[in-house]
Structure 1
Amino acid sequence: MRVLITGCHGQVGYCLTEQLAKNENTRVLALDKEHLDITNQEAVEATVAEFKPTIIINAAAHTAVDKAEEEVELSYAINRDGPQYLAQAAQSIGAAILHISTDYVFEGNKEGEYAESDTTNPQGVYGGSKLAGEIAVAKACDKHIILRTAWVFGEQGNNFVKTMLRLAKTHDSLGIVGDQFGGPTYAGDIAAALVVITKTICNGESDKFGIYHFSGLPHVSWSQFAQVIFDEAVEQAVIQQSPTVNAITTEEYPTPAKRPANSKLDTRLITEKFAIQASDWKLALGNIEAYT
C-alpha cells in the first residue's frame, strides 16, 4: 500500500502520518505545502506520477474561516482547485482519493443531525470553496471518499481547546457562544477513521465510495465544550481554577464569516459501512496537558 498525504503538518495530517507510519507494508509520502503546492497542477501530476500512490489522502485546506471572506481566490485555489488536481492525478493512475471536508457546506438551520444526503447550502466563502472541492473531487475521480467533519482539535496546530486553556490562565470569566451546536472531533480519531477506510479500499471493497460524516459525540454548544475543557483541566491540575463560563449569543460575538448554528453531523452511515464509531471527544481530553 502506497499512500500520499498532503497537508501533513496540519492537525489531521500530522496524526495520519504518525499512524500510517506504524503500518507494516505501507509506504507513506507525507508532504506539506513547502514540498507540494497542491494548487500547482504540474507539481501535483509530477509527484503522483513518480510516487504512484495506491491512495491519496488530501488533508490540506485553507481553514481560516474569517480570512476566507477576504482571501476568496486563495480559498478556492486551495479548497477546490488543489483537490481537483489531486483527484485527476489519482484517476489517471487508477488510485483512490480520500478528501476531508466540513460541516460548513450546510446552512446550519436544520433541526436534528445532518445526513450525507441533506441539501448543501454554504453561507460563506470557506464553506462554498469546500463544497466546490467536494464536487470537483467527485467528478474527477471515480474512486473517492469525501469525509465531512467538524470542530476539529488536536495536540498539533491551533484549535478551540488550546485557545480555552490559554485564556483560562488569564481570565476569571469568559463569554462563550452558547447557541451554536456541534460535535467536537479529535484529530487523532479522524486519522484513525481514514486509516480504516484506506485499508478497506486497498482490500478491494469498491462499493463504499462516496460521502461520509465523521465527528464527535455527544453534541454540545461551544460554551458547554469550554466548560468540559476547564473541568478536565482543573481535575488534571493543569489550571488551578475554572473561569466562569457565560453563554452568549452569536449576535454578541460577531465574526466576518457566518457560523452554522447547527453543525451536528449524523455519523450512522460510516458506522454501518466501515464499523467506525463517532469520535469520543471527552476521552481525547484525558491528557489535557498535551494541548498546552
Structure 2
Amino acid sequence: MKILVTGYNGQLGYDVVQEGRKRGLHMIGSTIEDLDITDSNQINEYINNLKPDAVIHCAAYTAVDRAEEDREKAWDVNVNGTKYLAEAVKAINAKFMYISTDYVYEGNGDVPYTEDSKIFPQSYYGLTKYEGERVVQNLLTDSFIVRISWVFGINGNNFIKTMLRLGETHDELKVVADQIGSPTYTYDLSKLLIDMIQSQKYGIYQATNEGFCSWADFAEKIFDVAGYSVKVKGITSEEYPTLAVRPKNSRMSKEKLRANGFEPLPHWEHALAHYVNELKQEVQNDK
C-alpha cells in the first residue's frame, strides 16, 4: 500500500510515516518544500504522478492565536488546502484521512463530547478545521475524520518539551488548571491511524490517549516522571489570557473506536513515561 502523509515535518506526520515503514508499507512524507497544499495545480500534478492508495492529511495551520489575526492564511491552508487534496484524491479514487481537533466543539461543561455532539468552535482555528471537515464530507462519499487533542511527539515542539525546558530554570510555574482534556502521544496515535487507513471502517472518530487531566495536572506529572523538583501552581484561564479562546472542556469519548474494533490508546500517564524515556534516549544518542 502506497500512502502519502502531508505535514511530514510535524509531530504526527513524522510518526505516521515511521510507523507505516515499520509495517512494510510504502510511505511518502511531504513537507511544504515538496508540496504546497494551497496550490491546486501543484496538488493535482503531484497526486496524479504519485497515485497513492491513500492520503493521511496531517498538514495544517496550527498556530491557534496567530490564526485570529492571520485569518486568510489559516483558511487557505486548513480549508482550501484540504479541498484541493480531497478533490485530487477523489479523481484517483484513493482513501483519504483528515486530522481534525477538539477545537471544533464549544468546550464548556464536563461531559465528554461524542462524534455527534454539537459543533460550535470558539476560535478561528477551530472554525477552519471544522470547515475542512465539511469539505471532506461534501466531496468524498467515504473518508476518515479523526479529532485529536493536546498532541506531543518526538519531532517538534510541544507542552512537555516546554515544561522540561522551563523546569531547568524555575522552582515554581503557574499552569492553567481549568482546561481539561487528554494528551495524545503521536507514537501511539500513529499505530491507530495506520490500522484505520488499511480498513474500510470510514467515519468520524475521536482519538486521544485514555484518561483526562488539566494542564496543571499534566505539568505536575511531567516533572514527577522527569525527576524535577518544580512546584506547579494552578491558575484560571482568565489569569492566562490568550488571543484565541481555549476550550475548558476538551474531554472526548473514544467509544466509537472500541465499537469499530480499534484498539484504544494507552493511558496518558503511560504515554508520558514512554515519551520522557524517548527524549532521554535522544539526548544520549546526540552525545
- Shorter-normalised TM range: over 0.9
Query: Which residue does the alignment assign to 2:278?
Result: 290
For 2:160 and 2:247, the matched residues in 1 are separated by 19
Query: Which residue does the alignment assign to 2:284?
Result: none
- Give the letter aligned to residue 9 of structure 2: H
> Which whole-Å deviations, capped at 9, do the CAs of 1:96-147 have from their partners, x for residues lacking one?
1001000000010133100000010001110010001000111112221000
The TM-score with structure 1 as length reference comes to 0.93
Query: Which residue does the alignment assign to 1:258?
Result: 245
> Which whole-Å deviations, capped at 9, do the CAs of 1:25-56 have from their partners, x for residues lacking one?
x2222111111011111111111111111111
Deviation of 1:223 (Å): 0.2
Deviation of 1:217 (Å): 2.0
For 2:262 and 2:57, the matched residues in 1 are separated by 22
For 2:263 and 2:43, the matched residues in 1 are separated by 31
Q: Determine helix, strand or coil for the equivalent of 1:119.
A: coil
Query: RMSD of aligned C-alpha atoms?
Result: 1.2
> Which whole-Å deviations, capped at 9, do the CAs of 1:179-199 have from their partners, x for residues lacking one?
000001101112111100012
Query: Which residue does the alignment assign to 2:28?
Result: 29
For 2:152 and 2:105, the matched residues in 1 are separated by 20
> Is the deviation greater in 223-232 or in 138-147?
138-147
Deviation of 1:279 (Å): 4.0
For 2:109 and 2:128, the matched residues in 1 are separated by 21
Determine what percentage of the aligned residue pairs are the same residue: 40
Q: Are residues 274 and 86 of structure 1, via their aligned partners in 2, closer, same or farther at CA, if it must alter by over 3 Å?
A: farther
For 2:176 and 2:4, the matched residues in 1 are separated by 38
Report if aligned partners of 2:10, 2:59 keep a CA contact under 8 Å in 1.
yes
For 1:282 and 1:139, the matched residues in 2 are separated by 38
Equivalence map 1:187-198=2 (5 Å): 187-198=186-197
- Give the letter aligned to residue 290 of structure 1: E
Residue 217 in structure 1 maps to residue 210 in structure 2 = yes
Report if aligned partners of 1:267, 1:278 keep a CA contact under 8 Å in 2.
no
Query: Which residue does the alignment assign to 2:121?
Result: 122
For 1:70 and 1:16, the matched residues in 2 are separated by 31
Query: Which residue does the alignment assign to 2:15?
Result: 15
> Is the deviation greater in 252-261 or in 275-284?
275-284
Query: Which residue does the alignment assign to 1:45?
Result: 44
> Is the deviation greater in 155-164 or in 280-289?
280-289
Report if aligned partners of 1:223, 1:245 keep a CA contact under 8 Å in 2.
yes
Q: Determine helix, strand or coil for the equivalent of 1:271.
A: helix
Query: Which residue does the alignment assign to 1:63?
Result: 62
Deviation of 1:289 (Å): 4.9
> Which whole-Å deviations, capped at 9, do the CAs of 1:188-240 have from their partners, x for residues lacking one?
1121111000121xxxx3xx211100012210000000000000000xxxxxx
Query: Which residue does the alignment assign to 2:285?
Result: none
For 1:279 and 1:67, the matched residues in 2 are separated by 32
- In structure 1, stretches of 5+ residues that fail to align are 235-240
Query: Which residue does the alignment assign to 2:75?
Result: 76
Write out the 4+ residue segments of structure 1 that deviate beyond 3 Å after TM superposition: 289-292
Query: Which residue does the alignment assign to 1:238?
Result: none
